[in-house]
Amino acid sequence: MTLAPFTNEFPWPAPAKLNLFLHVTGRRKDGYHELQTLFQFLDHGDSLFFVPRGDGQVVRQNALPGIDPEQDLAVRAARLLGRLSGAGLGADIRIEKRLPIGGGLGGGSSNAATTLVALNRLWNTGFTTAELAEIGLQLGADVPVFVRGLASWAEGVGERLAPVEMPEPWYLVVVPDVSVSTQEIFQAPELKRDCPRVTLDDYLAGRTGNVCEPVTTARYPQVKAALDWARGQGPAQMSGTGASVFVSFAERALASAAQKQVPAAWKSFVARGLNHSPLTGIMRGL
């Protein structure tokens, strides 16, 4: 038996996601949008460290530029789980950030999901994965897929999930130096909200795309420039509402060669697409 997850040195993974396509099919009365999308994880992400506390406090241990501890989705996830489970459950949380904020890679949602899964285990609160996914939905539309940890075809606001086994290519992800507000893009009057419903066959036949691209690229010239550049390397798309764009390659070496050409103004990384989140891999091993 290992005690490693109960120490402050045990890294709980919070992977990035890509939206391999993103269509908006309607708008609900509460303003949220009905989507169709395909989620895949990346073997690149943040690491979170937890130490349970007995005094009921949830304290983020490190400063993160741009994320006030009280607004931090990891802190909010911990407090929500604690409130649902009884008094006295606290934790120190440290987040090693690698994912961009407002980057379309789901960093905040992934941090929240990892917190729910890790603390459910460390606090012994006994929620099922389905219950954690439902709790997570209160924190963000992208949280349930990270809790469940399976690449999925998603509908609703992203909570109706059907696992799919996709090819796992190598991706070059280019991150322009801007943070895109998801809310701003979803509120844009010009966003196409009446996409006809599609199936996995439409995706496989190349009949899908990301309907947020024209909205984000018109407002953020750096995202347009990154997407134009990426299209010169291969089939490229924006993830989520941006800012990140990705190109897929059959081999790591090809992605790395393209990365060497990325203009200096933008960050980038090469990562493998994953149908199984490293978080669920850890849970199976514990």
Q: Is 281 annotated as contributing to ligand binding?
A: no
Q: Is 102 annotated as contributing to ligand binding?
A: yes
Catalytic residue, from 17, 46, 97, 224: name it: 17
What token pair was written down for 118?
A: 């890790």
In this structure, the strands spanning 33-53 and 90-96 are antiparallel
**Residue 240 interacts with ligand CDM (CB under 6 A): yes or no:** yes
**Residue 106 interacts with ligand ATP (CB under 6 A): yes or no:** yes
Site residues for ligand ATP, 141-160, by CB under 6 A, read 142
Site residues for ligand ATP, 241-280, by CB under 6 A, read 241
Cβ proximity to ligand ATP, 254 vs 278, nearer residue: 278
**Residue 111 interacts with ligand ATP (CB under 6 A): yes or no:** yes
What token pair was written down for 199?
A: 């199936």
**Residue 277 interacts with ligand CDM (CB under 6 A): yes or no:** no
Decide: 117 and 15 in contact? Cβ < 8 Å: no
Distance CA 136, CA 159 (A): 10
Cβ proximity to ligand CDM, 89 vs 245, nearer residue: 245
What lies within 8 Å, CB to CB, of 139 at 6+ separation is 73, 76, 77, 80, 109, 112
Q: Is 30 a catalytic residue?
A: no
Cβ proximity to ligand CDM, 82 vs 102, nearer residue: 102
Site residues for ligand CDM, 73-112, by CB under 6 A, read 106, 109
What token pair was written down for 178?
A: 């801007």
Cβ proximity to ligand CDM, 89 vs 175, nearer residue: 175
β-strand partners of 49: 94
Distance CA 243, CA 181 (A): 9
Catalytic residue, from 29, 142, 194, 267: name it: 142
Decide: 44 and 278 in contact? Cβ < 8 Å: no
